[in-house]
Amino acid sequence: MKQLITLTLFLLTFTAFAQKPCEYSANVTDSIGTYKVTNEYLISEKNFGGTFSYVFFSLAQTDGLPTLNLQLIQKSKDFLKANCFDKNSKVYLQLENGKIVTLLHINQENCGTLIRDDKGFDNRVNTGIFMFMKDNYEDLKTSPVLIMRIKYLTDVEDYIVKRELVSELNGKTYQPNTYFMQNIRCVE
């Protein structure tokens, strides 16, 4: 009887801590090389005074090089300031263990695309691709993120990264502070 209880407890513990399989929105291998990218994941959501702002992450691997795809979506009936990415743009991630991880933007300037919808909202979509640095890549696997700072061409914006985020957009629950701990293995 003790063996049955021990085995049951072991299996329950094993399944509770098992990592979920990686889900990709693209996974391509051809004569040019390999490319895979994880599904987009909501990291931050702000709704203030009729202006909405969303930050999504996805991880990509191109021929063995892991990168972070950051997508910023803004929606408002008021003026939307363009936050541009350039060669000097960076993403800083302050971890719970006190370390700061820096990601460097690729050398490609991008100010996003402005789209007006049928309800009179202006929507700005901006995407940046950021590269990991080898010296602090491993820290992302073991420590949750507390604060994210995005350095744009002319501005800096800080985000508190929550343990749990229930999205007003789709009603789903996200755990943004452990995003890298759960997903970075998918692009290694």
74 occurs within a structural domain:
yes
Q: Which domain holds residue 122?
A: 24-187
Reference 81, options 29, 122, 49; nearest CA is: 122
157 occurs within a structural domain:
yes
Backbone angles phi, psi at 184, to 5 degrees: -65, -25
pLDDT at 13 over 60: no
Give the number of domains in the chain: 1
Q: How far is residue 134's CA from residue 100's CA, in Å, rounded to a whole number?
A: 13
CB 88 within 8 A of CB 73: no
148 occurs within a structural domain:
yes
What pLDDT does residue 54 have? Answer: 96
Reference 187, options 125, 149, 130; nearest CA is: 130
What pLDDT does residue 147 have? Answer: 96
Higher pLDDT, 2 or 165: 165
Q: How many CB atoms lie within 10 A of CB 187?
A: 21
Decide the pairing of beta strands 34-38 and 41-48.
unpaired
What pLDDT does residue 19 have? Answer: 62
177 occurs within a structural domain:
yes
What pLDDT does residue 12 have? Answer: 45
Which range (12-16, 55-59, 86-90) has the least confidence?
A: 12-16
The percent of residues in the chain predicted with pLDDT above 90, rounded, is 61
Residue-wise DSSP of 71-139: EEEEEESS------B-TT-EEEEEETTS-EEEEEEPS--B--EEEE-TTS-EEEEEEEEEEEPGGGTTH
pTM to 2 decimals? 0.84
Decide the pairing of beta strands 41-48 and 51-62.
antiparallel
What pLDDT does residue 1 have? Answer: 52
Averaged over 104-115, what is the pLDDT?
90
CB 56 within 8 A of CB 41: yes
37 occurs within a structural domain:
yes
Averaged over 127-147, what is the pLDDT?
91
15 occurs within a structural domain:
no
14 occurs within a structural domain:
no
Q: How far is residue 138's CA from residue 54's CA, in Å, rounded to a whole number?
A: 27
How does the average pLDDT of the chain come out, rounded? 87
53 occurs within a structural domain:
yes
What pLDDT does residue 20 have? Answer: 77
